[in-house]
Amino acid sequence: MTMNANSYRLPLLRRYGRVLLPVAGLLLLAQGAAWVCGARWGLLFNGLAGSTRFLAQLLSPEWSAFGDLVQPALNSVFIALVGTITGTAFSLVFALLAASNLAPPWIRNSVRALLGMERALPEIVILLFLVAAFGLGPFAGVLALTIGCVGMLGKLIADAIEEIDPVLIESIQAVGATRAQIVVFGVIQPILPSIISFALFRFEYSIRLSVVLGAVGAGGIGFELYRAFVMLDYGRAASALVVTLILVFLSERLSGWLRKKIKTVGGVL
């Protein structure tokens, strides 16, 4: 019996020996990180237990607040919408400059570096900067989302342009098209479905972002949620949360539905 157990144990150690070192390293790192974060699990349970009253309040939204929340909710949607559409338009321009089959290498590389640098800036940092320049309000929010959209979609669209079959562009060139015609019929037309589905994807993301950006100063439903929370008006905060959930859910459904439609209609759109 003991023989059996031993012979079972040895290969176990040999089999998992290779995993042992990384796991031990991870645990050690986690210990250190937990110390830096000041993680105290007892505090979490005490805190959650101590805040049952306010958590219960969060589960009972204040129904009369929904009327006031319609306008902020629309503001959030529109910030995301306008930010995404203008951002897509701008990112198209940047993408044309960042595609190796359209732009000379030095332009392509510098535009790509610019887009990469933009992606390294979280939208919320851009918004902090813009709020300092333009003041609070949807203006800064729209601009922050536009800039964020350019960094993300610019690269995606440029990659899509670089994957276009060169024969398509050459054949349009061969019948004597001008440069603008090449761009419209040889570049934008073939990838239009992917551009639209990127934009829809980004719209979903922008809706989520507009909630956070709202709290920092772009206004909208995020600001209402934040203000209600800070003023300990938990009933109102719960209503704002419900409205936000509805927005996120609907935008996801809408974008999924449109994307599926574009996929089935295919080249026609």
Partner 1 sequence: MKNPSINVLSPAAYRRRATAFSATVVLVVAACLFMGFDPYLLITDLHYVVDLFKSMSPPNFDLLWADKTIGLSVLETMSMAFLGTLFGGGIAVLTAFLSAENTMPVRLVRIVTRTLLSLARVIPPLFIILVFVAAVGLGPFAGMLALCLTTIGTFGQLFSEIIENTEPAPADAVYSVGATRWQVIRYVILPQVTPSFIANLFYAFDLNIRVAIGLGIFGGGGIGFQLFQAMRVLHYRDALALILLTMVLIIASEKISDGLRSRFLIVTLAR
Q: What is the CA radius of gyration of the chain?
A: 26
Which structure tokens are listed for 55? 């958590």
70 lies in the site for partner 1, by CB under 8 A: no
Q: Cβ closer to partner 1: 81 or 96?
A: 81
Beta-strand ranges (E) seen in the chain are none
Place of tokens 């729209």: 142
CA distances from 260 to 194, 220, 264 (A): 12, 29, 6
**Do the Cβ atoms of 92 and 195 come closer than 8 Å?**
yes
Interface mask (CB under 8 A) for partner 1, residues 122-161, using x and -?
x-xx--xxx-xxx--xxx--xx------------------
Cα angle 93-158-187, degrees, rounded to a multiple of 5: 75
50 lies in the site for partner 1, by CB under 8 A: yes
Contact segment (CB under 8 A) with partner 1 among 1-9, 39-47, 100-108, 151-159 equals 39-47
Give the count of alpha carbons within 13 A of 59, CB side only: 5
Size of the site for partner 1 (CB under 8 A): 70
Residues that bind partner 1 (CB under 8 A): 26, 29-30, 32-34, 36-40, 43-44, 47-48, 50-51, 54-55, 58, 74-75, 78-79, 81-82, 85-86, 116-117, 120-122, 124-125, 128-130, 132-134, 137-139, 142-143, 168, 171-172, 175, 185, 189, 208, 211-212, 215-216, 222, 225-226, 229, 237, 241, 244-245, 248-249, 252, 268-269
